[in-house]
Amino acid sequence: MNWIILIIAGLFEVGFTTCLGKAKETSGTASVLWLIGFFVTMTISMYLLYRATLTLPMGTAYAVWTGIGAVGTVIIGIIFFKEPADFWRLFFIATLISSIVGLKFVSH
């Protein structure tokens, strides 16, 4: 169950980085709303990370959380922010995903 909580925490990390990116692109009320979304999703992500670390090793949980956030943020950047998706970028994202899965298998 704590692995599921950790994955959800990582997805909320993607949410707060996406909100931050959108806040940068907008102005006025829209920017304020994106910043509110940033703070809400960041708070939820941190709380869920805390919950996951109650039973998972801190180093493993943090690495998985940041890995999910990094992979998700790159994917969102490619899809929504028109960031480049060249071979090497996708290759290293794939190696990061492999590392996250590997940590799950070697953690007790």
CA 108 to chain centre: 23
Q: Per residue of the chain (108 residues), give pLDDT as tens.
A: 899 999 999 999 999 999 999 999 999 999 999 999 999 999 999 999 999 999 999 999 999 999 999 999 999 999 988 999 999 999 999 999 999 889 888 876
pLDDT number for residue 28: 96
Is the distance from CB of 64 to CB of 21 less than 8 angstroms? no
Token pair for 80: 């929504």
**pLDDT at residue 81, rounded to an integer:** 87
pLDDT value of residue 63: 93
Q: From start to end of 9-73, where are the E strands?
A: none
pTM of the shown model:
0.87
